[in-house]
Structure 1
Amino acid sequence: MAGLASAEQDRARQAQAPLSEARQHQQPTQAVDDFFASDPGLVTVFDFDYDLIIEFTKKLQWTQFVLIPPLWLTALACGPCFLNQNIEWTTRARHVALTVDGIRYVVDKHKTLCGLSCSDRGKESKTVPYDKITDCDVQEPAGTACCCCIQRVLSQVTVDTASSGNKDGVPRHELVLGGLRYPNE
């Protein structure tokens, strides 16, 4: 009797082996961002592709600065001197995760303008509850962002709720996440 039960258990394990191997291949990649490591109720973390976002944003904003003469007035306040650093600070302050409550998006406290502590921007967080989400779309990059010379390279994930919609003919989304490393996961 024990031998029969053992044989049945072996067959059950063998039947489940391909299934568990398939599940291992479908698991999302391990996130690098450890911002939410100590948060209770964490389900998974999604990484932003910080380097790609920074590279794209620098190209775009420097091109806009050069091509739009009224922006040259910011040179009087040393605006261009801090442009690259502001892009870094703003980009690396962004974090997103799935929690038991919903999608949690946080922009951590970070420096702005010339980097003095009096111009710091405080931490902002938003949680979109799962039961309020009506739509979640991924828009792949295509076309150009500025004057046919800066190619779009960032995917954009938009999350909508019942309160999302149009305001003055412009679509309004509950949450827009540009530059996720693996937006389709």
Structure 2
Amino acid sequence: MMVEYPGENEVSLSYCLKSLDLQHAQVAQDLLAVLKQESDTFQLADELARQQSQSIDEEELDAEATLPAKTWLVWAEAETATDSDDNPALSYPVGIGSISSGEVGIAILHDYQNQGLGRLTIQSMIDWAVQVGYERLWLDVDITNAPARHLYDELGFAVVPGAEQSVQLPNKRQATLERRELSLV
């Protein structure tokens, strides 16, 4: 995935996905720290996983666990008119996406949202999932997150009726998450 956006002061930003590996471990950790400050998405996911661990369908989990998992970083690369071999372009992560056991997760830094990065990232993730043999993908989304819900609607993730779950975070925020699934067959 490569998308270019002209920026201010003749800086051009392009975006790409890179597989997360040990070389990127520290920048991924730093990115996650910022994402966790910007949103409670990861707290919601952790709390929901804790609640669901008491009612896991072991057969379904075993079947999905045989498929590969993958995590990508969404990288911004800034190029200016003064870039050269001595002064290379600036490159840094602005988001993360993953698929594990059919579950899709994505987070983009606030300053980089509403530029189409989420759509392109999820579409790339769907393409990869089809290539490696997934039959379905799923995710949970806060029902108050209208932009994400709209994106998932457009990408074909259907609401699973009756699968809403309430989650209360340590800060007492109450959220309702809806389950969505995408059939890949």
Normalised TM-score (structure 2): 0.26
More strand by share: 2
Normalised TM-score (structure 1): 0.26
| Higher Rg of the two aligned structures | 1
